[in-house]
C-alpha cells in the first residue's frame, strides 16, 4: 500500500495533521506513507517514523517565475506524483492543487473535499465533510471515518534530532525552572497588547521569580515587536528571538514549566510536547484551533470564544458577539480590539495556578 497525504497549508496546520499518520500506519503497518507540504513547513513532519518521504512544494519560488516557466514548473510538479503509483491519495486541504494531483495520480482511492471547479468534480471518490465547528485535529482524522478505518489515538507529536537537544542543553539557563513565552505571531492581529505582554513577563520574573525565555521567528516585524514589548519590561528575561530553528524551539519548549503565548504554531508545538499552554485568542475560533491535550480523545473546546480549558491547557479570550470574526484586525487594522484589554489579574491567576500544577 502506497499512500500520499497532501497538506498545503501553514506550519501549525501541518503539525495538527500528524495523528492521521500514526493511525494509518497502525491500520496499514507495511504501508509507505508520503506527504507533500508547502516548503518551510517540513520540520513539522520530518523525523516522524510513520512518514516515508516528504515532498515540498516551493510555492514562493514558483510564484516568482514568469507565466510560462511557472506553468511548466506547476505541470512538472503535478505529474511527478503519477509515477509513484499511489494506491491512496488523501487531500486535507480545499483548493485546486490537491484536486489536480489526485485527478492525475491514477490512485484508486482518492479522498478530499468536493471541488467546485467542474474540471475536477471527479477528482475524489470519497468526500470529506466541512470542518464547521470541529477541532482541526479531529478534522485531520476525518478521512479515517470516511474510509471506516478505526481511530486508535489522537496524539500530536513533533520530533527533533540529538543535535537540537545538544544545542539547547548548552544554553546557560537550561538547568533552572523557566517559562517559555512566544509573544508574537506572523499574523499581528493575533497579538495581545505589548504593554500587557510586558506585565506578564514581569510577573513571571519578579513576582514568581521564574526566568522567562522569549522566542520569536527571525522576521523583522516579529523581532521589532518583541523589542517594543521588552522596552516596557522592568525585568530582564532571556531573549532568544530569531536565534532558534523550529526544531530547537521545540526542544527548548519541552523543558519549560509552562508556555504562554498567542495563537500560533509554537502554541501547537507546546501542546504536542505536553507542556501546559496558556494561550490568548481573539479573531480565530478556539473550537477549531485551541491547544490540543494529547491525553484526551475528545475536544474540550465547546464554545467559539470565552475562557476555556482542555486538560492541562487554558485559553483566555473575551466573549464578544463578534468573536471569532476571522478578520485581520478590527476594520483590517491588524489590531484586534478583543485582545487589547485582557484582564491581567485573571492572567496572573492562571499562570500561578498552572505553575503550581492546578488544572481544570
Question: Distance between CA 260 and CA 83 in Å, rounded?
Answer: 46
Question: Which residue, 118, 146, 174, sits at the end of a domain?
Answer: 146
How do residues 163-195 score in pLDDT, each as one tens digit?
999 999 998 777 789 999 999 999 999 999 999
Phi-psi domain of 85 (left: phi exceeds 0; alpha: psi -120 through 50; beta: other):
left
Angle, in degrees to the nearest 10, between helices 162-169 and 246-254: 60
Pairing of strands 308-310, 277-280: unpaired
For residues 20 and 113, membership in a common domain is answered with yes
For the CA atoms of 52, 275, 7, 109, what is the dihedral angle to 10 degrees? 60
Model confidence at 359, in pLDDT bands (50, 70, 90)? low
CATH assignment at residue 54: 3.40.50.2000
Let me know if residue 210 belongs to a domain: yes
Q: Which residue has the cell 497525504?
A: 5
Question: Which residue, 98, 119, 146, sits at the end of a domain?
Answer: 146
For residues 225 and 339, membership in a common domain is answered with yes
Phi and psi, residue 17, nearest 5° = -85, -10
Let me know if residue 155 belongs to a domain: no
The answer, yes or no, to whether the previous bond of 284 is cis (omega within 30 of 0) is no
> Side-chain half-sphere of 295: how many Cα atoms within 13 Å?
7
Let me know if residue 141 belongs to a domain: yes
pLDDT score at 98: 93
Let me know if residue 97 belongs to a domain: yes
For residues 120 and 252, membership in a common domain is answered with no
For residues 93 and 8, membership in a common domain is answered with yes
> What average pLDDT score do residues 79-95 get?
94
Let me know if residue 335 belongs to a domain: yes
pLDDT score at 113: 95
Question: Distance between CA 214 and CA 236 in Å, rounded?
Answer: 10
> Side-chain half-sphere of 71: how many Cα atoms within 13 Å?
2
For residues 276 and 303, membership in a common domain is answered with yes
How do residues 118-172 score in pLDDT, each as one tens digit?
778 889 999 999 999 999 999 999 999 999 999 999 999 999 999 999 999 998 7
Question: Distance between CA 120 and CA 178 in Å, rounded?
Answer: 51
Let me know if residue 130 belongs to a domain: yes
Question: Which residue, 102, 118, 146, sits at the end of a domain?
Answer: 146
pLDDT score at 118: 75
Q: Which residue has the cell 491567576?
A: 349
Question: Distance between CA 120 and CA 90 in Å, rounded?
Answer: 15
Question: Distance between CA 138 and CA 259 in Å, rounded?
Answer: 23
How do residues 284-325 score in pLDDT, each as one tens digit?
999 999 999 999 999 999 988 899 999 999 999 999 999 999
Kindly write down the DSSP assignment for every residue of 160-182, as one continuous string: --HHHHHHHHTSTTTTS-EEEEE
Is residue 360 over pLDDT 70? no
Domain of residue 72, residue span: 2-146
H helices of the chain, in order, are 11-15, 18-27, 59-63, 67-79, 96-105, 136-140, 142-146, 162-169, 194-202, 220-232, 246-254, 265-272, 286-289, 344-355
For residues 98 and 194, membership in a common domain is answered with no
- Reported residue count of the chain is 360
Q: What is the mean pLDDT of the chain?
A: 95
Question: For residue 94, which of 45, 42, 122, 131 has the smallest C-alpha distance?
Answer: 131
For residues 218 and 343, membership in a common domain is answered with yes
pLDDT score at 60: 84
For residues 79 and 215, membership in a common domain is answered with no
For residues 68 and 176, membership in a common domain is answered with no
Based on the structure, what is the number of domains in the chain? 2
Let me know if residue 360 belongs to a domain: no
pTM over 0.85: yes
For residues 141 and 260, membership in a common domain is answered with no
Report yes or no: 71 and 46 within 8 Å, Cβ to Cβ: no
Let me know if residue 156 belongs to a domain: no
Distance from chain centroid for Cα 249? 13
pLDDT score at 4: 98
For residues 99 and 174, membership in a common domain is answered with no
Question: Distance between CA 100 and CA 107 in Å, rounded?
Answer: 12
Is residue 116 over pLDDT 90? no
How do residues 212-256 score in pLDDT, each as one tens digit?
999 999 999 999 999 999 999 999 999 999 999 999 999 999 999
For residues 142 and 169, membership in a common domain is answered with no
Amino acid at each position: 500500500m502506497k499512500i500520499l497525504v497532501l497538506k498545503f497549508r501553514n506550519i501549525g496546520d501541518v503539525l495538527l495533521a500528524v495523528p492521521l499518520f500514526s493511525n494509518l500506519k497502525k491500520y496499514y503497518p507495511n504501508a509507505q506513507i508520503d506527504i507533500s507540504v508547502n516548503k518551510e513547513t517540513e520540520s513539522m513532519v520530518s523525523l516522524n517514523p510513520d512518514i516515508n518521504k516528504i515532498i515540498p512544494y516551493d510555492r514562493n519560488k514558483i510564484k516568482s517565475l514568469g507565466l510560462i516557466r511557472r506553468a511548466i514548473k506547476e505541470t512538472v510538479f503535478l505529474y511527478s506524483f503519477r509515477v509513484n503509483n499511489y494506491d491512496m491519495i488523501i487531500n486535507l486541504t480545499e483548493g485546486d492543487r490537491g484536486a489536480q494531483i489526485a485527478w492525475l495520480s491514477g490512485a484508486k482511492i482518492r479522498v478530499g473535499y468536493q471541488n467546485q471547479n467542474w474540471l475536477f468534480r471527479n477528482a475524489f471518490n470519497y468526500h470529506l465533510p466541512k470542518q464547521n465547528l470541529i477541532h482541526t485535529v479531529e478534522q485531520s482524522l476525518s478521512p479515517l471515518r470516511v474510509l471506516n478505518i478505526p481511530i486508535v489515538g489522537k496524539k500530536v507529536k513533533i520530533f527533533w534530532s540529538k543535535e537540537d537537544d545538544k544545542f539547547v542543553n548548552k544554553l546557560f539557563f537550561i538547568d533552572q525552572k523557566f517559562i517559555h513565552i512566544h509573544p508574537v505571531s506572523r499574523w499581528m492581529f493575533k497579538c495581545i497588547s505589548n504593554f500587557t505582554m510586558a506585565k506578564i513577563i514581569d510577573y513571571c520574573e519578579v513576582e514568581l521569580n521564574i526566568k522567562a525565555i522569549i522566542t520569536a521567528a527571525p522576521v523583522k516585524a516579529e523581532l521589532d515587536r518583541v523589542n517594543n514589548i521588552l522596552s516596557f519590561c522592568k525585568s530582564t528575561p532571556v531573549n532568544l528571538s530569531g536565534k532558534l530553528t523550529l526544531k530547537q524551539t521545540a526542544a527548548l519548549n519541552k523543558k519549560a514549566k509552562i508556555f504562554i503565548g498567542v495563537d500560533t504554531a509554537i502554541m501547537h508545538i507546546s501542546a504536542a510536547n505536553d507542556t501546559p499552554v496558556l494561550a490568548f485568542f481573539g479573531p480565530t475560533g478556539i473550537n477549531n484551533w485551541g491547544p490540543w491535550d494529547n491525553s484526551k480523545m475528545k475536544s474540550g473546546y465547546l464554545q467559539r470564544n470565552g475562557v476555556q480549558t482542555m486538560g492541562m491547557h487554558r485559553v483566555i479570550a473575551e466573549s464578544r458577539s463578534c468573536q471569532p470574526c476571522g478578520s485581520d484586525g478590527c476594520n483590517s487594522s491588524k489590531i484586534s480590539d478583543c485582545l487589547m484589554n485582557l484582564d491581567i489579574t485573571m492572567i496572573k491567576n492562571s499562570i500561578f495556578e498552572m505553575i503550581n500544577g492546578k488544572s481544570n
